Amino acid sequence: MTIADSAPLVVPPKGDVYRLGHRWLIKGPIDVVFDVLGRARDYPTWWVPCFMSAESDNAEVAVGARSHLRVRAKLPYELVWDITLVEVDRPYVLTVDTILRLSGRFPMLGPIRYSLTEVPEGVEVVNEQIIVAERHLPRLLRALAQRAFAYNHDWAFRIGGRGLQRKVDELVAARTASHAAA
């Protein structure tokens, strides 16, 4: 499966739309990268300092699994995410529906997708987000909000990419050591 095979993310109706995205190139097996991304409850262990806490009601990566995440922003606000896994195509696609609150207020919602593709250098991970605010902001404030969200997203995903690579390296090394011992 490729990104082109996935259905496009649907924009929820309501207020202002904020589109964000990021690309990572991760060296390691696609199944390991997928498993790390699929376990939201473990994000605070490798996506540091962004993810402050994560709780999940389901240990399995399966449609319907829900997680509650608290995320530190580079800018002076905290993000509270409630996510529900709505699409799993192992090891290629993870999509969640998201309800997001900025500093406990300003509700937003929308889909977030991770698409994974094996490439010669490793695994290309594409993050796509379409977040819709509950209400419209004035045009000038909307443009500033888009810039602020994009700035924060870029900061968090640069950190996340480094943490994801370290976690994948750690798991691959453990897998290799376990095979060597067998």
Whole-number Å distance between alpha carbons of 153 and 140 = 20
In which band, very low, low, confident or very high, does the pLDDT at 124 lie, cut at 50, 70 and 90?
very high
What are the backbone angles phi and psi of residue 48, rounded to the nearest 5°?
A: -100, 135
* In the predicted structure, residue 180 carries a pLDDT above the cut 70: yes
Amino acid at site 60: E
- Decide: helix, strand or coil at residue 140: helix
Angstrom distance (rounded) from CA 73 to CA 156: 8
Question: Over pLDDT 90: what percentage of the chain?
Answer: 69
Burial 153-179 (b: 16+ CB within 10 A, else e): beebbebbbebbbebbeebeeeeeeee
* Interacting residues of 60 by C-beta distance below 8 A, sequence separation 6+: none
CATH number of 14-176: 3.30.530.20
Question: How high is the pLDDT of residue 155?
Answer: 95
Between 13 and 79, name the one with better pLDDT.
Answer: 79
- Express each pLDDT in 21-75 by its tens digit: 999 999 999 999 999 999 999 999 999 999 999 999 878 899 999 999 999 988 8
CB 91 within 8 A of CB 97: no
